[in-house]
Every structure is written in C-alpha cells, then in structure tokens.
Chains A and B, each alone.
Chain A
Amino acid sequence: GQNIDQPTEMTATEGAIVQINCTYQTSGFNGLFWYQQHAGEAPTFLSYNVLDGLEEKGRFSSFLSRSKGYSYLLLKELQMKDSASYLCAVRGNQAGTALIFGKGTTLSVSS
C-alpha cells in the first residue's frame, strides 16, 4: 500500500525555525514534493527532492533520505505569512504518475 505520514499541526513564533517531518511508504519512488497551501487557495510548489540530501531555496530547505523513507521541510526566519498547510507528496516510479499526498501539516505562526 501507499502511506504518507506527517504531523497534523505545529505551532511556532515569528523569527523561529521549524522542521516539518514526512515519512512515506510507497510502491516505487520518483521524487518527493513539498507544497504550501493557504486556506481557500491552490497548493503552491515549494521544493522537489529526488536524490538524497538537502535542497536549499531561500528561507526554505528540504531534505530527503530514500533509504529511510523520510523527508523534512525546514522553514527559517518564520513570518506570519508562513501560517498555512504544508503538504508532502510522493511521485511513483513511472514518469507522469500523479503525486500521492499526505494529509498536510497546519502550521500556525504567532507573534
């Protein structure tokens, strides 16, 4: 079967660093994606990992360990506008195959 797990909710304060973990068990692997979704809006792409290691993009970084079926999204210098749902998604091993999403982690950033 296919299973993607991430925490339901997290809270943090402005300026802090937060790490959102994601573990997955899927039939095949061809990349892991992180999306941000504000309430009532479309998911927007944040990062893509297909090889082990850390990908850094501004305040956001994403890490992947394929052997452990594990990824995390690291958000630095948190801002109020970072309050949103963060979705971890895995693509199977066939080109073009749809992403399978976790339930999302709702992050609340307070001042």
Chain B
Amino acid sequence: GAGVSQSPRYKVAKRGQDVALRCDPISGHVSLFWYQQALGQGPEFLTYFQNEAQLDKSGLPSDRFFAERPEGSVSTLKIQRTQQEDSAVYLCASSAAGSGNTIYFGEGSWLTVV
C-alpha cells in the first residue's frame, strides 16, 4: 500500500479484555516496529521484526504483550487482560532494509481501557 495502515483506529476495551491491533506495513518493507506513545510523550519502543523474525522484544512491558508477523508482512500486537495503564496510542512503523533508511509511521491505534 501507499503507507503504513493500522486498524482499528480507535478501540475502547474493558479492563481484563484481550485486544488485537493490526499493522499493514509499506509493501516490501523488511523491518517493522511497534511503539507505544502516551499522551504528551515520545514513542517508546516495544518490539522489532525483520521479515518474520522478531529480533528485539526488549520493550514489551509485560508478558501480557505479544507480537507476531508470521509471513513477514502484516503484524499483530496482542494485549491480554488489558489494564488501565495500557491506554495509549500504539504506533506501527516500517522501513526498507539498510540502516540509513527512513522509518515510516502509521497513524496509530488509540486504545482506551475503561
């Protein structure tokens, strides 16, 4: 596609509910990143994929957070048993191979846990 696409755009979840957030990266982009952004803060790194391999998941805040990219394109971020502190914007980003390549962001999935 023309850009990074994320869905749902907005999600309200009851505390304890599981949620799944989807990311369609730019076609052909090898690298895919998930970030969490709280209001008024910069994006915080969660996890990174190169093709289907999850190379870094050091930013995932707890074992309730899980990400996958089984075929090296679409990725899903799953949050189990959501808690209020999970309320944030979840940004997906992708880039072509190579360290100098720009990272392009999607518009994010806004999660509110009530």
Contact = CB atoms under 8 A, between A and B. Distances in A.
Contact of A98 (B4, B30, B40, B56): B56
Given A96-B31, A102-B42, A48 B48 contact: no
Interface in A55-69: none
A50 to B, nearest CB: 7
A97 B105 contact: no
A10 to B, nearest CB: 15
Contacts of B55: 96
Interface stretch (A11-19, A36-44, A72-80): A36-44
B106 A101 contact: no
B interface majority secondary structure: loop
A19 B43 CA distance: 22
A41 B48 CA distance: 21
Interface residues of A, number: 27
Interface centre among B30, B42, B56, B107 (most CB of A within 10 A): B42
Contacts of B103: 33, 45, 99
B97 interface: yes
B41 to A, nearest CB: 5
Contact of A100 (B4, B45, B99, B100): B45
Interface in A94-111: 94-104, 106
Contacts of B4: 42
A20 interface: no
29 contacts: A30-B99, A31-B99, A33-B102, A33-B103, A41-B107, A42-B4, A42-B91, A42-B105, A43-B43, A43-B91, A44-B105, A48-B102, A89-B42, A91-B99, A96-B50, A96-B55, A96-B99, A97-B48, A97-B56, A97-B99, A98-B33, A98-B59, A100-B45, A101-B42, A101-B44, A103-B40, A103-B41, A103-B42, A104-B40
Interface of B: 4, 30-31, 33, 35, 40-45, 48, 50, 55-56, 59, 91, 95, 97-100, 102-108
